[in-house]
Chain A
Amino acid sequence: MAGALLEVDAIVKRFGGFTALNQVSLHVKAGERFGLIGPNGSGKTTLINCVAGTLHADAGRVVFEGRDITTLPPHRRTRLGIARSFQIPKPFTSMSVRDNLGIPLEYAGHGHAGGGADDILRDIGLDAKAHLRPGRLTQIEMRKLELARAMAARPKLLISDEAMAGLSHAEVDDILAILFRLNAAGITIIMIEHIMRAVMRFSERIVVLDAGERIAEGTPDEIIRNPAVERAYLGE
Chain B
Amino acid sequence: MRRTGLVLLAGTAVVAAGIAVAALRVNPYLPVNSYLYFAGYVILQYVVIATAWNILGGYAGYVNFGTPAFFALGAYTAVFLIRTVHPPLPVLILAGGLVAALLGLGIGYLTLRLRGTFFSIATLALSVVLQTVIMNWDFVGGSRGLSVLRPSGPPFGNYVVFLFTVMVGLAVVAVLVARFIERSWIGRGLAALRDSEEAAECMGVPTLRLKLFATTVSGFLLGVAGAPFPYYVTFVEPNSAFAIDYAVNALAMPMIGGTTSWVGPVIGAVLLGTAQQLATVTISSELNLFIVGVVLVAFVVLAPEGILGLVRRLRGR
B1 within 8 Å of A (CB atoms) = no
CB distance from A155 to the nearest CB of B (A): 10
Q: State which residues 83-137 of A face B: CB under 8 Å.
A: 83-84, 86, 90-95, 99, 102-104, 106-109
Picked from A75, A90, A94, A107, the residue with its CB within 8 Å of the CB of B194 is A94
Contacts of A107 in B (CB 8 A): 185, 189, 203-206
Please state if B202 and A92 are interface contacts (CB–CB under 8 Å).
Answer: no
Given contacts A94-B194, A95-B191, A103-B192, contact A86 B203 (CB under 8 A): no
Please state if B201 and A92 are interface contacts (CB–CB under 8 Å).
Answer: no
A194 within 8 Å of B (CB atoms) = no
Q: State which residues 43-92 of A face B: CB under 8 Å.
A: 52-54, 73-75, 78-79, 83-84, 86, 90-92
B114 within 8 Å of A (CB atoms) = no
B138 within 8 Å of A (CB atoms) = no
Q: How far does the alpha carbon of A73 sit from the alpha carbon of B200 in the complex, in Å?
A: 12
Given contacts A102-B188, A103-B189, contact A149 B194 (CB under 8 A): no
Q: How far does the alpha carbon of A231 sit from the alpha carbon of B125 in the complex, in Å?
A: 54
A206 within 8 Å of B (CB atoms) = no
Please state if A93 and B204 are interface contacts (CB–CB under 8 Å).
Answer: no
Contacts of A93 in B (CB 8 A): 195-196
**Which residue from chain B places its CB closest to the CB of A101 in the assembled complex?**
B203
CB distance from A51 to the nearest CB of B (A): 11
A6 within 8 Å of B (CB atoms) = no
Given contacts A90-B196, A94-B191, A103-B192, contact A54 B202 (CB under 8 A): yes
Please state if B188 and A75 are interface contacts (CB–CB under 8 Å).
Answer: no
Please state if A78 and B200 are interface contacts (CB–CB under 8 Å).
Answer: no
**Which residue from chain A places its CB closest to the CB of B191 in the assembled complex?**
A94
Picked from B189, B203, B260, the residue with its CB within 8 Å of the CB of A78 is B203
Binding site for A on B (CB under 8 A): 185, 188-189, 191-192, 194-196, 198-208, 260
A-B contact pairs, 30 of them (CB 8 A): A54-B198, A54-B201, A73-B201, A73-B206, A75-B202, A75-B205, A75-B206, A75-B207, A78-B203, A78-B204, A83-B202, A90-B196, A90-B198, A91-B199, A92-B191, A92-B192, A92-B195, A92-B199, A92-B200, A94-B260, A95-B195, A103-B192, A103-B200, A103-B203, A104-B203, A104-B204, A107-B206, A108-B203, A109-B204, A153-B204
